[in-house]
């Protein structure tokens, strides 16, 4: 029999959310510095108040019931509102305080921490949680409303999203200095059809942008090698595996050190932008609002921070 939901505690909801995240009582206990029996007790008491089971085992795997899915969504709203209240109160006190939760595509990791450092100089009581992950996971996180903002390059057009482009993300072709194309100028894009081209995996934002661009230009790559991260593409080019199509920010340090050369291909770089993205209609926290305002208002500063991570114009 269901008891009053008003009797549930924030602590019970915290334990419940930890079990949902880890799909494990024991792992939830570890993260919350509790014993497993203590976690089980909190969940059992919560189930008594809900009047329905929250978890079920199929084999050895823990699954959320429909009641748990509903409670998880409601609890997320409760904690978001409490966090927003805390931030609003700190704003009324004359300071901005709170955590900015971000998810970002892997290739923006070279620049984003420097932007966060500049933002924190303005608001020293703000902290960050940054998860660097794949495009597919970022899209799923948007659907699950797990972050304040996500930073990505190619924003899905089939979803209700708000986005703000704030930084150029040029995609370039790089090779090691002894590659036959390294000293050539005005190389036609079609020349890539004769080369081994290193690409990200299908589903990557960089791969999607490159595939669409090459298709538009009617360039059909003859030989390709798929590598699972931007860093692997850079290292593959340094090792001499072929021509790597990478974000300029990811390769800039290696270019400046002379370990890579940015090819002078007539129709590159492929110009894209990094965007700050959130679901349309999402209620942003004061910290997230302040970070968006920072991105809009400090374009000159952002450009200055990004310059060390961009290929030199002389070699493009």
Per-residue pLDDT tens over the stretch 208-256: 889 999 999 999 998 999 998 888 999 999 999 999 999 888 888 899 8
Residue 311 has pLDDT above 70, yes or no: no
Q: What is the pLDDT of residues 19-33, one digit of tens each?
A: 998 899 999 998 888
CB 17 within 8 A of CB 75: yes
pLDDT (mean) for 44-65 = 88
Give yes or no for residue 133 having a pLDDT over 80. Answer: yes
Of 1-5, 60-64, 97-101, 178-182, the range with the highest mean pLDDT is: 178-182
Select from 208, 39, 216, 30 the least CA-distant residue to 135.
208
pLDDT tens sequence across 84-106: 776 666 565 556 778 899 999 88
pLDDT of residue 316: 40
Q: Is the pLDDT of residue 160 over 50?
A: yes
Contact between 291 and 231 under an 8 Å Cβ cutoff? The reply is no
Query: Would you state the pLDDT for residue 314?
Result: 37
pLDDT at 98: 83
Mean pLDDT, to the nearest integer, of 71-78? 86
State the Cα–Cα distance between residues 125 and 120, nearest whole angstrom: 7
Model pTM? 0.64
Side by side, which strands form the sheet with 273-279? 126-133, 98-105, 149-152, 273-279, 161-168
DSSP secondary structure of 2-18: ---GGG--HHHHHHHHH
Looking at every residue in the chain, the average pLDDT score rounds to: 86
Q: Is the pLDDT of residue 260 over 50?
A: yes
pLDDT of residue 167: 86
The average pLDDT across 278-289 equals: 88
| Distance (Å, whole) CA 316 – CA 299 | 23
Please give the share of the chain, as a percent, with pLDDT higher than 70.
91
- Res. 39: pLDDT tops 50: yes
């Amino acid at each position: 029999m269901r008891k009053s939901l008003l009797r549930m505690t924030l602590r019970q909801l915290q334990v419940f959310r930890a079990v949902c995240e880890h799909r494990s009582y024991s792992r939830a206990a570890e993260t919350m510095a509790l014993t497993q029996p203590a976690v089980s007790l909190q969940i059992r008491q919560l189930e008594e108040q809900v009047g329905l089971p929250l978890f079920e085992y199929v084999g050895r795997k823990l699954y959320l019931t429909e009641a748990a899915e509903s409670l998880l969504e409601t609890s997320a709203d409760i904690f978001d509102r409490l966090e927003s209240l805390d931030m609003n109160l700190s704003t009324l006190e004359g300071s901005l305080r709170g955590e900015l939760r971000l998810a970002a595509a892997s290739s923006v990791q070279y620049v984003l921490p420097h932007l966060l450092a500049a933002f924190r100089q303005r608001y020293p009581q703000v902290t960050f949680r940054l998860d660097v992950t794949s495009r597919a996971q970022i899209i799923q996180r948007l659907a699950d409303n797990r972050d304040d903002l996500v930073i990505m390059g190619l924003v899905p057009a089939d979803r209700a999203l708000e986005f703000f482009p704030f930084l150029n993300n040029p995609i370039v072709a790089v090779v090691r200095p002894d590659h036959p194309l390294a000293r050539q100028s005005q190389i036609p894009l079609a020349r890539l059809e004769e080369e081994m081209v290193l690409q990200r995996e299908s589903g990557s934002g960089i791969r999607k942008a490159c595939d669409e661009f090459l298709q538009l230009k009617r360039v059909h790559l003859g030989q390709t090698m798929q590598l699972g991260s931007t860093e692997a593409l850079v290292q593959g080019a340094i090792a001499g595996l072929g021509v790597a199509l990478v974000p300029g920010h990811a390769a800039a340090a290696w270019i400046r050190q002379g370990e890579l050369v940015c090819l002078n291909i007539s129709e590159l770089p492929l110009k894209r932008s990094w965007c700050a993205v959130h679901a349309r209609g999402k209620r942003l926290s004061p910290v997230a609002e302040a970070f968006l305002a920072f991105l809009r208002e400090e374009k000159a500063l952002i450009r200055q921070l990004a310059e060390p991570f961009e290929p030199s114009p002389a070699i493009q």
